[in-house]
Amino acid sequence: EYDDINELLINEDDDETYNNYSRVPTSQESDDETLDMGDNLSSNDYYLIDQEEIPFVNLWSSFSKVFIRSVLRSTRRYSTYEKEIRRNCLISLLAVIATSLIYLIIAIYTYCMDGYTMKNMHDINNYTERAIVFSSLLLIFVSCLGIIGVRFKFKPMIVLYIIMNIISFCFQYYAIKQLQDTVTHAERNLSFAWWDVYTNETKINFQREFNCCGYLDYTDNAVPIDICPESLVHRKVKIETLGPIPVMLKKGKFNKTFTIPDVGGDYFTKEELERVQIKLKDNKSNKSNNNNNNNQKGDAMMDIGIDMDLSNLNSNSNNNNNKTKMKNKSKNKNKTNKKASSNSNNNNNDNNNNNHDKEKGSNIGLRKRKDSIEKPKGCSEEITRMVEKSVGLLCILCWILSISSPFALLFSLFYCKNLELTKKSYEYF
């Protein structure tokens, strides 16, 4: 009945069952020998044979399997940990490449639009744009080195990436710091752009967009439009790099119907000389007046923002002198009058003089005061506010994106530490 007991006891999946069950014969002396004899097997042996599982033998085998599985599971965990570090390193490197591409897109957009906040704004200068482009290209190159080293498990390449990552992060920090300086000095930088970079069309667009006139106020290089009437616009003098044009050298070519008082040190440019009627000053002014003595030098031309005429000034001063002489004569004749009447007359004369001086001050040429109530505001406040808001948000975005470089550095350090050099350097190529 049990002529092939070895095949019943031996399990193909578990060799330990056959080896540990030592009472089962492992070989036969001859082909004629059978297992039906009672001396070979006991009743307990037959009992164990009848059981589907052998208790003690299977217990040991199951324990050994659990132990082996635990060991294998620990090794699998180690390999999984290494794979996770490698995967995180690759993901961080791809994040650095994505960050550098975003930097590059921002720089290209700013270059094409001549400004980040608005078109033709010129809020980000050329040095900042170059710094952003250079840092983005360097980040892409360094990240490619890291990806090659991690992909092929090339430890020297990973070490090179770690060193280059530190350098690229320094350039990235410099570019973001330039953006932050743009926010800090926005009003100053935009004033240079208003005077030196913006065209008249750009200024007109900004003035209509923000309902303003000029940069700081309507006297600061404004362009006459509906919002900025020409009667209110008083353009200041702009000195070009070509050099000023003195009045004395060009005196014979100007119209002689008007006068030009001197304020010293300022000159008109060539463009303004073509647009404005230049007026020669009167050399026959009063020499006793200090202002007239300064005006006789003829070294420079006056800011056209103040409309003053020396002839009116001289006539007003002569009339005032005559009036004061007449008043002195009348006072000498009326010395015998009462003190009360003299005091009242003096008070009336003082009031008249004050009123006359006020009228004189309003008629001399201080025309800016008449329009001070209704004058439009400058564009600096609105432009500066928009630039600070937009570029400030850009700085915050760049600082957030820059976190990818330190994370990539940490993951590459962990991966390089656990990586063993299984190949020599020349074997990778």
Contact 293, 310 (CB under 8 A): no
Token digits for 95?
């994040």
265 torsion bin: left (phi>0), alpha (psi -120 to 50), beta (else): left
Count helices and strands (H / E) in the chain: 14, 0
Listed in sequence order, the residues at least 6 apart from 281 whose beta carbon sits closer than 8 Å to its beta carbon are 247, 259, 260, 261, 262, 295, 296, 298, 310
Q: What is the pLDDT of residue 84?
A: 78
**Mind listing the pLDDT tens digit for each residue in 50-68?**
555 445 455 555 555 555 5
Q: What is the pLDDT of residue 60?
A: 52
Confidence check: pLDDT of 402 > 70: yes
Q: Tokens 């000195």: give the residue.
A: 239
**Mind listing the pLDDT tens digit for each residue in 114-162?**
889 888 889 998 899 999 999 999 999 999 999 888 888 888 888 899 9
**What is the number of residues in the chain?**
429
Q: Tokens 């923002």: give the residue.
A: 305
Phi then psi for residue 372, to 5 deg, are -70, -25
CA distance 33 to 160: 75
Three-state DSSP at 61 gives helix
C-alpha 204: how far from chain center: 26
- Strand partners of residue 255: 279
Query: Rounded mean pLDDT of 184-200?
Result: 89
Which of 137, 129, 102 has its CA nearest to residue 113? 129
Q: What is the pLDDT of residue 109?
A: 93
Token digits for 234?
């008083």
**Mind listing the pLDDT tens digit for each residue in 226-250?**
888 777 775 444 444 444 444 444 4
Buried b (16+ CB within 10 A) or exposed e, 340-368: eeeeeeeeeeeeeeeeeeeeeeeeeeebb
Q: Tokens 């590459």: give the residue.
A: 412
Listed range (204-218, 319-333, 398-412) with the worst mean pLDDT: 319-333
Token digits for 8?
């019943």
Confidence check: pLDDT of 254 > 50: no
Confidence check: pLDDT of 199 > 50: yes
Token digits for 249?
């050298």
Which of 49, 58, 52 has its CA nearest to residue 14? 58
More confident residue, 371 or 408: 408
pTM of the entire predicted model: 0.51
CA distance 267 to 243: 9
